[in-house]
């Protein structure tokens, strides 16, 4: 038990400033203290310590419901650096050969896989077999068949499978979804999604068919695929698509440079989208309905997201996407919370089915029927 002296020392400094605080300041302090989280914490190991893995790790330092406790990497120097930066114990550090041993580590609840796309499936299945929850970056797999195998493996192991759809928790995005659900746009007629940037280093893994599974569509185009679904609020029933390639040296066979694709929905709404590795400044969503519209630009970047509707500017405050995502994932895994827009493996398989159909439409020039 702590001594009375310790108690007095603990409260003395805060009490000394109380006479100088306004009523509003005192209310804010009281409110913040009452909101302190004392529930379960999701303990996460990150697999793949590249630039995005680092972004997630940094964001997790501000989480209240999730904590970075372990790492998995094939580069010993990265592990050493992360240990020092994030205070990760040696017993929670693994490489790609021995990480199956996490099954014997009770200090890790989940593994966030942030590796090249082709490695998501094999590593997710190994993590599931080790009895840990799986978080995969998107796209979840190279195709729908692989995605379905991941879903089945996680169900068999009785673990959760979530995907890093950070935009599903972004405040301005959720406000547009709320407005659409409440009928403020009226009948939805049209969606436009523009996703693209000019990619640099031609030797990077994102331009390697074996590692990435494609080109722009498997990296940036998935935002428009997924965004069309949650903005319109329906599942598409057909797709058409056209590929444009002007640099076959940089964008080799099976690595798409630019794809335009169109989606049709049961209500009659249509979507027109662009995915590219050849144009900068493309990060825009536009939703049109009989009673109004929503426009977001940037719409899927790391923020702040900017947007407006026929009723005016969207003013929801910016929050670091990865911090919010990891806290929300903690609630989903540990307390069974249901997100407004799903982020589970079944949700990701739907995106993969659409992308499979987009690639088929590009190859054949045909209109492809979708069954999601």
- Under a CB-based contact definition with an 8 Å cutoff, are residues 237 and 353 in contact? no
Please give the full DSSP string across 84-97, using - where no structure is assigned. Answer: HHHT--GGGEE-TT
The span from the CA of 279 to the CA of 364, in Å, is: 25
Active site residue 37: no
Q: Which two tokens stand for residue 161?
A: 């499978």
* CA distance readout (Å), 159 to 60, 80, 94, 267: 22, 29, 20, 36
Helices assigned H by DSSP within the chain: 4-17, 23-34, 51-60, 76-86, 120-129, 144-156, 171-181, 209-212, 221-232, 321-335, 345-364
The span from the CA of 57 to the CA of 285, in Å, is: 28
The span from the CA of 113 to the CA of 98, in Å, is: 15
The span from the CA of 66 to the CA of 44, in Å, is: 7
Cβ within 8 Å of residue 198, ≥6 positions away: 277, 278, 279, 280
Cβ within 8 Å of residue 106, ≥6 positions away: none
Active site residue 155: no
Q: Which of 86, 94, 165, 223 is catalytic?
A: 223
Q: Which residues of 189-200 are buried (b: 16+ CB within 10 A; e: fewer)?
A: bebbbbbbbebe
Q: Which of 65, 121, 138, 350 is catalytic?
A: 138
Instruction: Say whether 103 sits in a helix, a strand or coil.
Output: helix
Residues taking part in catalysis: 138, 223
């Amino acid at each position: 038990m702590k001594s009375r002296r310790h108690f007095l020392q603990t409260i003395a400094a805060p009490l000394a400033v109380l006479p100088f605080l306004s009523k509003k300041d005192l209310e804010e302090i009281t409110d913040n203290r009452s909101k302190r989280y004392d529930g379960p914490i999701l303990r996460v190991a990150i697999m793949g310590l590249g630039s995005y893995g680092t972004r997630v790790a940094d964001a997790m330092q501000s989480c209240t419901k999730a904590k970075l406790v372990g790492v998995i990497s094939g580069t010993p120097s990265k592990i050493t650096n992360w240990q020092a930066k994030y205070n990760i114990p040696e017993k929670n550090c693994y490489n790609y050969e021995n990480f199956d041993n996490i099954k014997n580590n009770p200090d890790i609840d989940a593994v966030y896989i942030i590796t090249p796309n082709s490695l998501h499936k094999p590593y997710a299945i190994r993590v599931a077999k080790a009895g840990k929850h799986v978080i995969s970056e998107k796209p979840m797999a190279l195709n729908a068949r692989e995605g379905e195998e991941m879903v089945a493996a996680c169900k068999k192991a009785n673990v959760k499978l979530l995907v890093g759809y950070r935009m599903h928790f972004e405040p301005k995005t959720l406000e547009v979804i709320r407005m659409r659900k409440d009928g403020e746009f009226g009948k939805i007629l049209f969606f436009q999604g523009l996703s693209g940037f000019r990619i640099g280093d031609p030797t990077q893994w994102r331009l390697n068919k074996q590692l990435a599974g494609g080109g722009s569509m498997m990296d940036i185009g998935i935002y428009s695929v997924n965004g069309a679904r949650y903005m319109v609020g329906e599942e598409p029933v057909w797709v058409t698509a056209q590929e444009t390639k002007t640099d076959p040296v940089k964008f080799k066979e099976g690595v798409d440079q630019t794809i335009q694709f169109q989606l049709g929905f049961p209500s009659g709404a249509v979507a027109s989208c662009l995915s590219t590795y050849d144009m900068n400044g493309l990060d825009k969503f536009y939703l049109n309905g009989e009673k109004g519209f929503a426009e977001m630009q940037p719409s899927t970047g790391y923020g702040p997201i900017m947007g407006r509707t026929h009723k005016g500017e969207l003013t929801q405050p910016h929050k670091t996407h990865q911090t919010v995502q990891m806290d929300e994932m903690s609630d989903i895994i540990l307390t069974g919370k249901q997100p407004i827009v799903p982020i589970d493996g079944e949700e990701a398989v739907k995106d993969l089915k659409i992308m499979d159909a987009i690639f088929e439409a590009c190859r054949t020039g045909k209109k492809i029927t979708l069954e999601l």
